[in-house]
Amino acid sequence: MIRIHSLGYVGYESPRSEDWRDFGPVFGLEVENGPAGAVNLRWDDRPYRLRVIPGELDRIAYLGWEAPNTAAFDEISAGLAALGYPPQDESAELASDRQVRALRSFTDPLGIRHELFYGPLSLDRSFQGTRATTGFKTGPQGLGHAVLAVPDMEIAVAFYEGVLGLRTSDIVNLGPGGEMRFLRTNTRHHSIALWRMHDPVLGLQHLMIESRDLNEVGKVYDVVQASERWQLSSTLGRHTGDEQLSFYTRTPSGFDLELGCDSVDIDEAVWSARYFDNRQGAPNEVWGHRWLDIGAQSSLHPVEE
Ligand SMILES: [Fe+2]
């Protein structure tokens, strides 16, 4: 079975890319200039983990999947080809733009562009957060997680589990809120979650970055609450699924940023997929996470059924 190392980077297109220069540092992220006017957001020694590219719509430009080495890069590619998604070799120029050694790309059945790479440029001990305590859990667990709103759960699961080879950690039935599926590729509880919402929409619902320090999460929570510019989308709380203690803020690009800490690590040898059904009394939260009504997300786009 093909085995992807981690979710390595996200490229996102947005009319408000420039606002990230102010938004990123609130969360301790470093901001640097990317190619062609893009804004690179850093939270470890990679050149970027999120790149926000100027564009007309808030939309995912690409999801970057990391292969641990050349052999895995080829093996994963062969697996994708065998399942009907042959990745295309990308040029050295594009690999250089992404700051990786080698790059291939393919498109999922929902129309999202995926990139497979190995050999990310590493800038050893170069990350400087905005506070002395700022540090994020990445490395073997990748950048954090991304939650995608998908118009068709069956098609999405067939691809993300059946083709990409991600493994189901949890399934959650939200009743009228739809259904979610949490998928992992390493010890992080999920690198991707799929969410079939009440209405069929496609896009990035939120991105999670994980702090190493509970106090860091609390300090940023204070800053966002006191801010007149940035809005909380959810109060502080702890999820039952990944056990993350976190809160959510609306980003300049319509999706939410979840800043968390203290999540569970998955032991592959013993984990068995769980099913939480809200209608049968299974809760999503240990405590907290009160969702605030701050309007629709410009990152989610209606899809014809
Ligand atoms: Fe999350």
Is there a contact between 153 and 198 (Cβ–Cβ < 8 Å)? Answer: no
Q: What's the 55 CA to ligand 1 centre distance in angstroms? A: 25
Q: What's the 80 CA to ligand 1 centre distance in angstroms? A: 27
Q: Is the pLDDT of residue 98 over 90?
A: yes
- The C-alpha atoms of residue 258 and residue 238 are separated, in whole angstroms, by 12
Residues having C-beta closer than 5 Å to ion ligand 1? 208, 258
Q: What's the 204 CA to ligand 1 centre distance in angstroms? A: 11
pLDDT-derived band at 304 (thresholds 50, 70, 90) equals confident
pLDDT at residue 134, rounded to an integer? 86
- The C-alpha atoms of residue 91 and residue 224 are separated, in whole angstroms, by 41
- The C-alpha atoms of residue 226 and residue 245 are separated, in whole angstroms, by 20
Average pLDDT score over the chain: 96
Q: What's the 181 CA to ligand 1 centre distance in angstroms? A: 12
pLDDT at residue 2, rounded to an integer? 59
pLDDT-derived band at 121 (thresholds 50, 70, 90) equals very high
pLDDT digits (tens, 9 = 90+) for 7-44: 999 999 999 999 999 999 999 999 999 999 999 999 99
pLDDT at residue 305, rounded to an integer? 74
pLDDT digits (tens, 9 = 90+) for 240-292: 999 999 999 999 999 999 999 999 999 999 999 999 999 999 989 999 999 99
- Coil, helix or strand for 241? coil
Is there a contact between 217 and 263 (Cβ–Cβ < 8 Å)? Answer: no
Q: What's the 208 CA to ligand 1 centre distance in angstroms? A: 5
pLDDT digits (tens, 9 = 90+) for 123-152: 998 998 888 788 999 999 999 999 999 999
Q: What's the 143 CA to ligand 1 centre distance in angstroms? A: 12
Q: What's the 5 CA to ligand 1 centre distance in angstroms? A: 19
Q: What's the 128 CA to ligand 1 centre distance in angstroms? A: 24
Against a cut of 0.95, is the pTM above it? Answer: yes
Q: What's the 121 CA to ligand 1 centre distance in angstroms? A: 27
The CA distances from residue 84 to 71, 78, 80, 97, 204, in Å, are 20, 10, 6, 27, 25
Q: What's the 96 CA to ligand 1 centre distance in angstroms? A: 30
Q: What's the 91 CA to ligand 1 centre distance in angstroms? A: 33
Q: What's the 218 CA to ligand 1 centre distance in angstroms? A: 17
Q: What's the 269 CA to ligand 1 centre distance in angstroms? A: 24
pLDDT digits (tens, 9 = 90+) for 166-215: 999 999 999 999 999 999 999 999 999 999 999 999 999 999 999 999 99
Question: What is the radius of gyration, based on Cα positions, of the chain?
Answer: 18
Match 């940035």 to its residue by tokens: 230
Q: What's the 292 CA to ligand 1 centre distance in angstroms? A: 16
Q: What's the 145 CA to ligand 1 centre distance in angstroms? A: 7
pLDDT at residue 1, rounded to an integer? 54
- The C-alpha atoms of residue 169 and residue 89 are separated, in whole angstroms, by 31
Q: Is the pLDDT of residue 228 over 90?
A: yes
